[in-house]
Amino acid sequence: MDAPNQSPVLAVRDAVVDFPLRRGVFARTSGRIRAVDGVSFSIAPGEAFGLAGESGSGKTTLARAVCGLVPLSAGSLSGVPLRARQMVFQDPSSSLNPRLGVCELLTEAPLARGDFPRREAERKAVAALEEVGLSGDLLYRYPFSLSGGQKQRVAIARALMQRAQILLADEPVASLDPRAAEQILDLIRALQKSHGLTVVMTSHRPGEAMQYANRVIGLRGGSIVRDAPTAQWNARDFSALYGKAL
């Protein structure tokens, strides 16, 4: 189902992602595994969009493909430029380079592209930290000294520094305690409103997808099994999606 009457910020057409199956001592390719199988959808500007499914359903692979981290084997992606699609990963500890301070994490890519002079980039980094609820004093701290919630906020600030138009949040609260998780979801909602962001959130938890998104696509075995506004989903739909009663 496509978003009506608006030019989409993202259009996915017949997307296929295959991974090589390697066997033996020399890891020779002996076949391929299809992780995403002919998926199509469009997303409107400012939409809160959910990708739901159990582990192995293809939701994370699809999100990575949208961000250019995984190549498509077939199909196409169009919409806002690739650099405007920014991903926030499930585990902030592994997504932040431990050798870089917060300042470098936020300014490395903009400085490499020549977006800003260094001093302006650092000022913008402080502003980004404050916007995600962190003190600018953290600018010269390293990831190991931050809590899980703080690391995820730094990851979101990094996306803001990249001038994100689409924020792809891959189970962004799965590794956090319930209180920190609720705070991060509230933060993403607030940023979506203040920046006009389009948010795509993956989740293997039905309640989480329903709580955040106004539209949910259900994936199973790499294929779409349902694409509908959140209000039209019910317990039976989710049971069919996960292959069991929930």
Q: What is the pLDDT of residue 1?
A: 47
Half-sphere exposure of 7 (CA within 13 A, CB side): 3
Instruction: Kindly tell me if the per-residue pLDDT of 2 is higher than 50.
Output: no
Strand 215-220 with 48-52, pairing: parallel
pLDDT digits (tens, 9 = 90+) for 138-185: 999 999 999 999 999 999 999 999 999 999 999 998 888 999 999 999
pLDDT band per the 50, 70, 90 thresholds, residue 242: confident
Residue 7 pLDDT level (bands cut at 50, 70, 90): confident
Distance CA 127, CA 130 (A): 5
11-48 residue pLDDT tens:
999 999 999 887 766 667 768 899 999 999 999 999 99
Q: How far apart are CA 213 and CA 230, in angstroms?
A: 7
Mean pLDDT of 228-237: 87
Residues 49-80 have pLDDT tens digits of 999 999 899 999 999 999 999 999 999 999 99
**3-state DSSP of the chain:** CCCCCCCCCEEEEEEEEEEEEEECCCCEEEEEEEEEEEEEEEECCCCEEEEECCCCCCHHHHHHHHCCCCCCCEEEEEECCHHHEEEECCCHHHHCCCCCCHHHHHHHHHHHHCCCCHHHHHHHHHHHHHHCCCCHHHHHCCHHHCCHHHHHHHHHHHHHHCCCCEEEEECCCCCCCHHHHHHHHHHHHHHHHHHCCEEEEEECCHHHHHHHCCEEEEEECCEEEEEEEHHHCCHHHHHHHHCCCC
Q: What residues are paired with 203 via a beta bridge?
A: 52
